[in-house]
Every structure is written in structure tokens, then in C-alpha cells.
């Protein structure tokens, strides 16, 4: 296994994201009480587990599936003098058993993906609730919210497909058989797309309660243009904080984020869906169908 497969280009910026780290530290300090048993899923370097141990957890149980990162987590935890307080398993959380760990009081997981759900945060939490946690266990993050912005962007589409007016009169259309449907975008891409409507919330779930997995949301267009696709990001309430909440937002305009956002293109010729200002449309979100987002205009 190469080093680049272990430490990817997003890993160091994430670890260096002080806003992220402080937000989780604050959440753990609010949620974990002295003597609590804590389950940390996806330990990585062991940072969140060490936070919980320092803040009074009686014992922390955590897991890391990557064998090299697992070894590094053991090294880091030992370096910080916390090996007696943290038990690390080299496996997925789905493979942990009740024989290995007792029911825990608190779950903390930073399985937060650029596309919100790509690291299976909902499945991870649900599985842990059913098998590994006490009935009223606290969960960090407690809520997951998905924002979506409809955008026009020829520039983003050119990263996914070939446009015939770019090729000096030659027909290269067969290459579009390999057209992509999504790509990562960052705040550096903001100048290359135009919002055609205000960002809307299409999914909002409290992970400690049953939540809706299908939802239709009405959206009003604010600009006339061709809608090429949608940009998606998340917002996570880690704890209650001072009453206003302790949030982590991964959106394009958030100073907190070390994450990318996801651009999902509409599967069409590349011209986009024509829309006009004040026109209404719907976003249909379906968590069961690989978390699909479908946009339709209303005449």
C-alpha cells in the first residue's frame, strides 16, 4: 500500500482544520460526562477518541479499517499517554460485536463526506444505535442537513463532457459515451457557476429520532438561464452549544470547511434545463435510491 493511498490530499487539510477540531472538542466536552463509555467510529489518527478520553470518558472504543492507519493510531494514542483509556479495533464498525464492547453512552463519528452521505454516516449511526449503544445514547453529530443549489455552469460541464463548438469543426461526440455525472468543486470554483435559485434544504434529520427518507421540496428560480446541475453540501449540528447550536457547515461560502462540495450534472446534451426567474420547480430527494436528487420545472 502506497503512502498516497493512506494519507490522501484531503487528509492533512482536514487534520489542520482548527475550526473543525474545536467544534468537535466543544461538542465532546458538552456530551461526554465523567465515566461515560464512548464509541468513536472511523478513528483515523485517533484525535476524537483522545479528545473524549481527555474530557473524562471512562473508556473509549474505536475502530479503523485501514491496517496502516490503525497502526499509526495506536502509535499516536500511545504517544499521548492514553493507551489504557482507548481500545482500537482494526475493522469496520459493522463488524464490531456486543462481545467486544459494552453498550456505549455516546457515539462520535466524523464520517462526513463531500457529498454528505458518501461515507455512510446514516448507515453507520443506525447500525450502532441498534447494536452498540444504550437506548438514550448521545450522538455527535446529532443532526444532518443537506443544502442544494441549482446552478448554471458551462465551465463545470466542460469537465464532464465534450462540446462540439470547442473542437474546430471535428465531431468528437462518441467520447461522450464516457460522460461523467458528478465532480468535486471547491470555493475556487465559485466564479465559474451562477446560482439560479437560493440554496434550499432538501434533507434535515435528527439522528436520535426517526427521519423521513423521501422528500419533495419546492424551489423558486431567482434568475433566468440554463440549469446544468446542482451543488450539494452539508451542515451538521454537533451539540447544543449556548442554545444557538454548535454547527459545522461544509458549504462553498463557509470559512469552516476543509471539504469540497459536489456538483451533480443533469444527464442531458449539455445545454441544461431552461428556466426563468420566478418559475417554480421541485427537488425530489430519495435516500433509498442511492440518495438521488431529481429536479423538475413547473410550467
Q: Read off the pLDDT of residues 267-295 as tens digits, 9 standing for 90 and up.
A: 777 889 999 999 999 999 998 867 889 99
Q: Domain range for residue 157?
A: 144-298
Domain final residue, candidates 140, 173, 200? 140
Q: Are residues 110 and 41 in the same domain?
A: yes
Q: Are residues 19 and 132 in the same domain?
A: yes
Q: Are residues 128 and 176 in the same domain?
A: no
Calculate ∠ Cα 134-67-95, nearest 5°. 35
Q: Are residues 72 and 60 in the same domain?
A: yes
Q: Please give the positions annotated as active site.
A: 110, 119
CA 245 to each of CA 31, 55, 144, 205, 241: distance values in angstroms, whole numbers, following the listed order: 13, 20, 13, 15, 5
Please give the Cα distance from 10 to 185 (Å, whole number).
Answer: 13
pLDDT of amino acid 243 = 64
Mean pLDDT across 214-229? 96
Checking phi first, is residue 198 left (phi over 0); if not, alpha (psi -120 to 50) or beta? beta
Q: Are residues 260 and 222 in the same domain?
A: yes
Q: Are residues 113 and 149 in the same domain?
A: no
Q: What are phi and psi of 173, to 5 degrees?
A: -55, -30
Domain final residue, candidates 140, 160, 187? 140
Check if the beta carbon of residue 146 is closer than 8 Å to that of residue 213: no
Q: Are residues 72 and 106 in the same domain?
A: yes
Mean pLDDT of the chain: 91
The domain that contains 273 carries what CATH number? 2.70.160.11
| Among 28-37, 112-121, 143-152, 215-224, the least confident range | 112-121
**How many domains does the chain fold into?**
2
Q: Are residues 220 and 181 in the same domain?
A: yes
Domain final residue, candidates 99, 119, 140? 140
- DSSP conformational letter for 102: P
Q: Are residues 82 and 132 in the same domain?
A: yes
Q: What are phi and psi of 22, to 5 degrees?
A: -65, -40
Q: Which residue has the higher pLDDT, 7 or 260?
A: 260
The domain that contains 93 carries what CATH number? 3.40.50.150
Q: What is the pTM of this model?
A: 0.91
pLDDT tens per residue, range 84-105? 999 999 999 999 999 999 999 9
Q: Are residues 100 and 127 in the same domain?
A: yes
The answer for residues whose C-beta is within 8 angstroms of residue 7's C-beta and 6 or more apart is none
Amino acid at each position: 500500500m502506497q503512502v498516497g493511498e493512506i494519507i490522501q490530499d484531503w487528509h492533512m487539510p482536514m487534520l489542520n482544520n482548527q475550526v473543525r477540531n474545536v467544534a468537535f472538542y466543544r461538542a465532546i466536552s458538552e456530551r461526554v460526562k465523567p465515566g461515560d463509555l464512548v464509541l468513536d467510529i472511523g478513528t483515523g489518527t485517533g484525535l476524537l477518541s483522545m479528545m473524549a478520553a481527555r474530557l473524562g470518558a471512562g473508556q473509549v472504543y474505536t475502530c479503523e479499517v485501514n491496517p496502516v492507519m490503525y497502526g499509526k493510531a495506536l502509535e499516536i494514542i500511545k504517544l499521548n499517554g492514553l493507551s489504557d483509556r482507548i481500545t482500537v479495533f482494526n475493522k469496520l464498525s459493522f463488524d464490531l460485536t456486543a462481545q467486544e464492547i459494552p453498550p456505549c453512552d455516546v457515539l462520535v463519528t466524523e464520517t462526513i463526506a463531500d457529498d454528505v452521505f458518501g461515507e455512510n454516516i446514516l448507515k453507520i449511526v443506525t447500525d450502532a444505535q441498534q447494536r452498540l449503544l444504550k437506548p438514550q445514547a448521545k450522538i455527535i453529530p446529532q443532526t444532518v442537513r443537506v443544502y442544494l443549489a441549482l446552478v448554471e455552469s458551462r465551465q463545470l460541464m466542460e469537465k464532464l463532457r465534450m462540446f462540439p463548438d470547442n473542437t474546430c469543426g471535428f465531431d468528437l461526440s462518441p467520447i461522450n459515451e464516457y460522460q461523467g455525472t458528478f465532480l468535486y468543486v471547491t470555493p475556487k470554483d465559485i466564479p465559474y457557476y451562477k446560482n439560479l435559485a437560493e440554496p434550499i434544504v432538501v434533507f434535515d434529520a435528527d439522528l436520535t429520532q426517526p427521519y423521513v427518507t423521501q422528500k419533495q421540496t419546492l424551489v423558486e428560480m431567482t434568475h433566468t438561464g440554463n440549469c446544468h446541475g446542482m451543488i450539494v453540501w452539508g451542515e451538521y449540528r454537533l451539540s447544543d452549544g449556548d442554545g444557538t447550536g454548535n454547527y459545522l457547515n461544509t458549504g462553498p461560502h463557509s470559512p469552516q470547511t476543509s471539504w469540497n462540495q459536489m456538483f451533480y450534472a443533469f444527464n442531458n446534451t449539455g445545454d441544461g434545463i431552461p428556466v426563468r426567474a420566478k418559475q417554480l420547480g421541485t427537488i425530489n430527494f430519495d435516500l433509498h435510491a442511492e440518495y438521488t436528487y431529481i429536479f423538475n420545472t413547473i410550467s
